[in-house]
Structure 1
Amino acid sequence: MVNTAIGQEALFGAQEIKSPEIHDDNSVTFRFLAPKADSVKLTGDFLPTIKIQTQFGAMDVPGPVHLSKGDNGVWSFTTQPLSSELYNYAFEVDGLRTTDPNNPFLIRDVASVTNIFIIGGGHADLYKDNDVPHGTVAKRWYDSPGLGMDRRITIYTPPGYESSNQKYPVLYLLHGAGGDEEAWSDLGRTAEIMDNLIAQGKAKPMIVVMPNANITQDAAPGKGRDGFYKPQFMAPGTMQGAYEANFMDIIKFTESNYRVIADKAHRAIAGLSMGGFHTMHISRYYPNTFDYAGLFSAAIMPREDASGLDVYKDIDGTLKRQMDNGLKLYYIAIGKTDFLYNANKEFRDKLDAMGMDYEYLETEGGHIWRNWRVYLSDFAPKLF
C-alpha cells in the first residue's frame, strides 16, 4: 500500500504546466506556478551575461530575467529564438533558487542542480540520444595501490564492443575542479557524442575512460564510502602531484580489463580546466605514453610540489622530451572570455619558443560546459 500511495502521489500530484516549451522558431517559454510569490526570476546559459568578481578574478555569468505573472498564478517568460545547444536553467522565487517542477531532466555540477533542454538542428544534435547504435557506459572499481584504495571509474565502450574480438584505442578524459567520475558522462554528454560521431563515421570506435581526480575520494559524492555529503569545488590534494604520479594505476587497470591496443599510438589523454592541467602534466611526466593530448580551457599555472613528488619539476625539460619522442596531436582550446585565457596564451608562447607543434582552437564564451562539449566533439574525430 505504501508503494502504491507513493506512485499515485507522483502520478496525480504533478502540475499540468508545460515548461520549457520549445516553439517552432526555437524560442522557448518557461512557466512557473507560484500564485502567492512576489517575484519569479529565470537564470540560464542562454541569457545575456554579467560580470562578477570571484576568487579567480572577473567571470561572466548569466544574468537573471523577470517572469510575468498571469491571472492564473502562472509566471512566464519567452526567449528570443535560440541556436542549437544544450542549455541549463533554474528559477529564483522570492529569492529562493529552485529547479523547474515541470521538467524532470536535471544535471549536477559540483553542488548545483539545474534543469536542461536541447535545441536541435545543429551541433547539439550530437548531444541527443539519436537512433544510432549505442555504446555501453559502465561504472567500475579499480585498485589504486598508489592512492591506497579501490576507486570508482566511468568507462565508455563503443557499439559492438561486447560482441566483437576487436582491440580498441583509448581516450583518457579528465574532469575539472569540483567534478568527479560522473562529470564528463552527465554534463559532457560523452556517450551521446561518441555514439553519434562513430555512427557518422567521423570518429573511430574507441574506449573512453573517465576517472575521478579527487585523490581523497573513492567515488563521487553519494556513490562511495563517505555516503551523502555536499560536493565541494576543490577537494584537498587534487593539484599536488599524487594523481598524476599514480595515473599508471588507471592505465594498468584499463589495459588489463579491456581489449585495447596498448601502445603510445593508440592512447590519448584530454581534460578540461583542472583536467587540462592534469593532462599537460601527466602527458609530459610520462613523455612516451600518449600520442595525443588535449588541453580544454586548461588551468595552466605554476606549481610547487607540495607533496614531495617530482611531478612538477623540470617542466621545460619533460615537455621537450615529450616533443622529441613525437606527438601526433597536441591540442589546445579555450574561449575568448575565459579567465584562463592569458595563462593559456603564455603557455602557447612557451611551446612556440620550444618549436613544439600544436593545434589551437579559440571559441566564443568562457569557462563553460558549452565550450567543453564542443572541444570534445572537435577533438575526438582527430584521434587515431
Structure 2
Amino acid sequence: MSRWSLRPLLARLTALLGLWSFFNAAIAGEVQYHTFESSTLGHAYPYTVYLPDNYDAEASTPYPVVYLLHGSFGNERDWVAKGNLAQTADRLIRAGHIPPAVFIMPGSRSWWIDDHNEAGRSAFFNDLIPHVETHYRVGSTRALRGVGGLSAGGFGALNFALEKPEMFGAVAALSPASYVPYPPPNSSAHRHPSFLDEQGNFDTALWDTRNYPAYLEEYRINVTPRPSAEESDIPPVPLYISAGRSDVYDAEFHARQLRQAMERIQPNDVRLDLYPGGHTWRVWRASLPAALTFMFQHIGDTPTGQ
C-alpha cells in the first residue's frame, strides 16, 4: 500500500481521535482543593473535592457523596495525583456504571482515629462531614453516603462503617492496614505518631481498642434482626475488600481474615478481589473501578435540576 492510499485512513483515524478527545474533555468532573478551620483540630483541615460534570449546587435531588481516605503519611491530594480518581470517576459516570457523585478526599495526620497525634476520627465526624454537607449539594443520609480508603485509610474507613453503620450505605477497604492481632514489623504503624506513646513505643493497647475486632460485636448487634423482626433497624454495610497477592505486609492474608469475620455477620454483603502486585498504587488504581462500582450498587441516585 502506497503512502498516498494511507492518507484517507490516517485522516479518518485523526478525526476519530479528535472526536474521542473532545468527548472526553467535554464530559469531565472538576477537582478543587480547599481548607476550613477545624475546631476539633485547632488548625486548618485540608481536603480535595471532585465535582461531577455539570455539578448543580441547586439540584433538587442531592448528589451521593463518597469520602476517600488516604494511607499512612499520605495527604488529601493522593487519590487524584496518584490514584487517578478523577479519570476513573469520569469514565464510570460516562459509562453509566455510577451516577454523578461528589468525592471528598480529606487530609489527616492521624490513622483516622483519635490517637497520640491528633483527633482524626472526631474531626472527620464533627467537622468535615458537617462542613461538606453545608457547602455542597450532597446527601446527608445513609443511602447517599459511602466511605472508602486504602491501607491506613482502609483501616479508617472500615472502622467508621463498623462504628456508625447508620451513616454509611457502603464501604470499600483497599489493602486495608487492619492487621490482626498487630501490624507486621515493617508496617509504618510502628513509626507513625498516631501509635507512638510518650516513650516512643508502639501503643498496643491503643491498637487493640481502635482496630476492627473491637467494633465487631456491637456492629453485629446493631445490624442483626431481633428475634421478632425480619430485618434489623440498621442494615449491614456492604463491604468491598481488595489486596495485592504479593503485598509486603501480607495484606491478602489479613484481607481474608477480615472477609471471614464479616461474612459471619453479613454473608451476602462482602466481596474480596485479589490483584497481582504489592502494596502499591498500581493495585489501588486497578481495584478502584470495581470498588466504586460495588459501592454504587448500594448508594446513590442521580440528581435532577430544579
TM-score (norm 1): 0.56
Q: Name structure 1 gaps, 5 residues minimum.
A: 1-124, 216-233
Residue 320 of structure 1 is matched in structure 2 by: 220
CA deviations over 1:133-154 (Å, ceiling 9, x no partner) = 1111111112322222221110
Residue 349 of structure 1 is matched in structure 2 by: 260
1:292 lines up with 2:170 in the alignment: yes
Letter in 2 for 1:342: F
CA 1:252–1:361: 2 relative to 1, 3 Å: same
1:175 lines up with 2:84 in the alignment: no
Residue 329 of structure 1 is matched in structure 2 by: 238
Residue aligned with 1:270, SS:
strand
Residue aligned with 2:25, SS:
coil
Residue 148 of structure 1 is matched in structure 2 by: 42
Residue aligned with 1:213, SS:
coil
Residue 122 of structure 2 is matched in structure 1 by: 245
Residue aligned with 1:171, SS:
strand
Residues matched between the structures, number: 238
Contact 2:145–2:169 (8 Å) recurs in 1: yes
Cα distance in 2 for partners of 1:264, 1:235 equals 20
Residue aligned with 1:247, SS:
helix
Contact 1:156–1:207 (8 Å) recurs in 2: yes
**Going by fraction, where is helix more abundant, 1 or 2?**
2
CA shift at 1:377, angstroms? 1.1
Contact 1:142–1:152 (8 Å) recurs in 2: yes
Contact 1:268–1:292 (8 Å) recurs in 2: yes
Q: CA RMSD in A?
A: 2.9
Letter in 2 for 1:179: G
Equivalences for 1:79-158 in 2 at 5 Å? 130-158=24-52
Larger radius of gyration: 1
What percent of counterpart residues are identical?
27
TM-score (norm 2): 0.70
CA shift at 1:353, angstroms? 3.1
CA shift at 1:328, angstroms? 5.6
Q: Which has the higher contact order (CA 8 A, sep 6+)?
A: 2
Letter in 2 for 1:130: N
Letter in 1 for 2:272: Y
Residue 271 of structure 1 is matched in structure 2 by: 149
Letter in 2 for 1:145: S
Residue aligned with 2:36, SS:
strand
Residue 197 of structure 2 is matched in structure 1 by: none
Contact 1:272–1:296 (8 Å) recurs in 2: yes
Residue 79 of structure 2 is matched in structure 1 by: 184
Residue aligned with 1:319, SS:
helix
CA shift at 1:274, angstroms? 0.6
Cα distance in 1 for partners of 2:55, 2:254 equals 40
Cα distance in 2 for partners of 1:310, 1:148 equals 25
Residue 256 of structure 1 is matched in structure 2 by: 134
Contact 1:202–1:381 (8 Å) recurs in 2: yes
CA shift at 1:380, angstroms? 1.7
Cα distance in 2 for partners of 1:254, 1:240 equals 24
**Going by fraction, where is strand more abundant, 1 or 2?**
1
CA shift at 1:164, angstroms? 5.4
Cα distance in 2 for partners of 1:279, 1:235 equals 8
1:359 lines up with 2:271 in the alignment: yes
Residue 208 of structure 1 is matched in structure 2 by: 103
Contact 1:287–1:318 (8 Å) recurs in 2: no
Cα distance in 2 for partners of 1:271, 1:164 equals 29
Letter in 1 for 2:119: A
Cα distance in 2 for partners of 1:236, 1:320 equals 21
